[in-house]
Structure 1
Amino acid sequence: MVEVDARGLSCPEPIMLTADALKQADGPVKVLVDEPHQKTNVEKFARSQGRTPTSTETADGFEVVIE
């Protein structure tokens, strides 16, 4: 699984990193963000690409796994 650590980054960087990871990955991509709006943006982007995001809250933010 490819992991993108976008914690501490401002939009649109998490989306750009996620897009790059989805292009290169053969399987799921895990995206780590620390703000609720970043989580929402990553989820929306994943859906726009025909992928399924699953989010969980962690101690230091959010984890979005994109299948």
Structure 2
Amino acid sequence: MKLKTIDARGRSCPEPVLMTKKAVALNSEGIQVLVDNTTACENIKRFGSHSGYKVEVAEKGEDFVLTLKK
């Protein structure tokens, strides 16, 4: 299954978390989120975990790729 990808690079919190929340409402099985700072990464990890998603984080250069799956 190809996951929808949300590009939240260059955005400061809480915007990446709000974008993630909106995306999982439309794609409940899971999404991928691209961010470029550790604060957004940690906040999205926390949101995903509290929302019942398994969260995987991979570093890609200076960016983070978070995969949230049910």
TM-score normalised per structure 1: 0.94
Which residue of 2 is the match for residue 3 of structure 1? 5
| Distance in 2 of aligned mates of 1:28 and 1:50 | 11
Which residue of 2 is the match for residue 55 of structure 1? 57
Q: For the aligned residues, what is the CA RMSD?
A: 0.9
Which residue of 2 is the match for residue 37 of structure 1? 39
| Distance in 2 of aligned mates of 1:54 and 1:31 | 10
The letter for the 2-side match of 1:62 is F
Partner-residue secondary structure (3-state), 2:34: strand
* TM-superposed deviation, 1:26: 4.1
Partner-residue secondary structure (3-state), 2:13: coil
Give % identity.
Answer: 30
TM-score normalised per structure 2: 0.90
Between the two proteins, the alignment pairs up a number of residues equal to 67
Match of 2:24 among 22, 25, 43: 22
Gaps in structure 1 of 5+ consecutive residues: none
Matched, 1:12 2:14: yes
| Distance in 1 of aligned mates of 2:10 and 2:23 | 18
